[in-house]
Structure 1
Amino acid sequence: MKRTLVILLRNPLSLIGVILVALVVLSAIFADFIAPFPEHRGSVVDFVNFNKAPNATNIMGTDLVGRDLFSRIIYAFRISLVLGVVVLAIATPIGTLVGLFAGYVGGKTEFILMRLTDVFLSIPPLVLAIAMMGVLEPTLMNAMLAVTAMWWPWYARLVYNIARSEREEGYVLAAEVIGASTPHIALREILPNCLPAILTKMTLDMGFVIIIASSLSFLGLGVQPPTPDLGSMVAEGARYLPDSWWLTVFPGLAILIAVFGFNLVGDALREILGADQ
């Protein structure tokens, strides 16, 4: 704990990252209490106040049907974080197990698992997600599945490289000598040494997942209206630039804050855990 505080205080950017992530997470959790117009997260219409520039009542202005932009951005944070957590909660275990057993077992297992990983890695991530969403109905659940399908190979490759270098270490050889099973060695001996790198990558990937999800929504393939989503809000407002600049600028800044914060926290976590990626 003391070392963590020293690192954060020594590096102002790390502290800024923690503050930004805390603001995003707390806003998402307590959106119902923070948002001045919580009902505006849905299909509310208020044509009396439509397309208003930022003012004392609506600090970020209103959208084309009169909904408070600040309230919708706060709820959009919740959608982005839920998507990111679910994607990483599915992709990380899958990729970790694939990389772990490929790196330790070797032989045909290594060849099959890593060639499958290479197939997925050879396809540009956003292209794969767009292709999947072109077939599936554009819903939040399908968006999660599309992003997950493109994310697990990166964890497989990361853990594979670590496991392959660790399998000749003395503690692994000692476990083999006393007759420990393959699952025991992989999960109880090698995996703990992979965790710092995995945790660091997960933190950094939260920002990238938000970008990919926002990109899908920007193209109309992600979360659908009236559910607030940062990418779809940017896309909707882009048609009315530069006159209604707030429709695009504020959702874009929200994406920037979230991604920048998680990247800074990831860098700090890498230093704290001593993860070398």
Structure 2
Amino acid sequence: MKKTLLILTRNPLSLLGLILVTIIVLAAIFADFITPFPEHVGAVVDFTNFNQPPHWPNIFGTDLVGRDLFTRVVYAYRVSLILAAVVLIIAVPIGVSIGLTAGYLGGWTEYGLMRITDIFLSIPPLVLAMSIMGLLEPTLTNGMIAVTAMWWPWYTRLVYSITRSEREEGYLLAAEVIGASKLHIMFREILPNCVPSIVTKMTLDFGFVILIASSLSFLGLGVQPPTPDLGSMVADGAKYLPDSWWLTVFPGLAILFAVFGFNLIGDALREILGGDQ
């Protein structure tokens, strides 16, 4: 862990990513204390201060009903991070378990599981999520379900490839000879060799999940008002460009910084963990 942090801090781009992600996570956790108007998260109106450009204390300006935009962007980070974390917590175990099973057992099990995975992978991710959300009520929970349904196949394909390459290794043959169970071999022998790749992909995917969730909200299929969401704020503000530019620019930059930060850390981890293997 110390070695990883040392390498991250020595690389300027990795350090930048670490700083961005740290600021985003801390802002989301302590949003109640760092935002000037926490009550503006809900259905609050202040028509005496509506649609104002950036000024003190509204450093990001105000929206069309007078709510502080900085407050709503910070709370939207909390919503986005929770959504991304829940999606990956659900999708990764599902994808990893299917990939291990298909890669190690082979035969008809492999054929059936991987063909199902290929069907999901053949559908563009955003289209699949939009199709699912079109059938469900647009809520945060249903948004998580939609994004999870499109995310697990990528981990299945990743772990399946690694498992196939490990299946004939000597340590697996030795484990089989001494009578180790299939579950033991899959989850105690093969899985540890998959962890570096899984961790790297999870870090990269954190930003992409936020981007996909924001895209759904931009299309009106994600988190619904008055809950703050970056995608819906960009969509609402786009109607008033270029005059009320702050309505779109600041939420858009928030999405950019989140995706950029997680990508930089993910790229650094890929080099670090890849070098350790």
Fold shared, TM-score > 0.5 on shorter chain: yes
Residue 41 of structure 1 is matched in structure 2 by: 41
Task: Note the C-alpha offset of 1:30.
Answer: 0.5
The one-letter code sitting in structure 1 at the alignment partner of 2:271 is E
Residue 82 of structure 1 is matched in structure 2 by: 82
Q: How many corresponding residue pairs? A: 277
**What runs of 5+ residues in structure 1 fail to find an aligned partner?**
none
User: In 2, distance between residues paired with 1:137 and 1:7?
Assistant: 45
Taking only the aligned residue pairs, the percentage that are identical comes to 77
Residue 171 of structure 1 is matched in structure 2 by: 171
CA contact (8 A) 1:218 1:231 kept: yes
Change (3 A) 1:139 1:5: closer
User: In 2, distance between residues paired with 1:269 and 1:30?
Assistant: 27
CA deviations over 1:233-258 (Å, ceiling 9, x no partner): 00000000000000000000000000
Change (3 A) 1:46 1:7: same
Residue 109 of structure 2 is matched in structure 1 by: 109
User: In 2, distance between residues paired with 1:199 and 1:103?
Assistant: 19
Give yes or no for the alignment of 1:54 onto 2:51. Answer: no
User: In 2, distance between residues paired with 1:78 and 1:275?
Assistant: 33
Task: Note the C-alpha offset of 1:267.
Answer: 1.0
SS of 1:274's equivalent in the other structure is: helix
**Structure 1 segments of 4+ aligned residues over 4 angstroms from their partners:** none
SS of 1:67's equivalent in the other structure is: coil
CA contact (8 A) 1:95 1:154 kept: yes
Residue 92 of structure 1 is matched in structure 2 by: 92
RMSD of the alignment, in Å? 1.3
User: In 1, distance between residues paired with 2:154 and 2:29?
Assistant: 29
Give yes or no for the alignment of 1:126 onto 2:144. Answer: no
CA deviations over 1:114-135 (Å, ceiling 9, x no partner): 0000000011100000011111
SS of 1:262's equivalent in the other structure is: helix
Task: Note the C-alpha offset of 1:9.
Answer: 3.4
Give yes or no for the alignment of 1:210 onto 2:210. Answer: yes
User: In 2, distance between residues paired with 1:122 and 1:209?
Assistant: 18
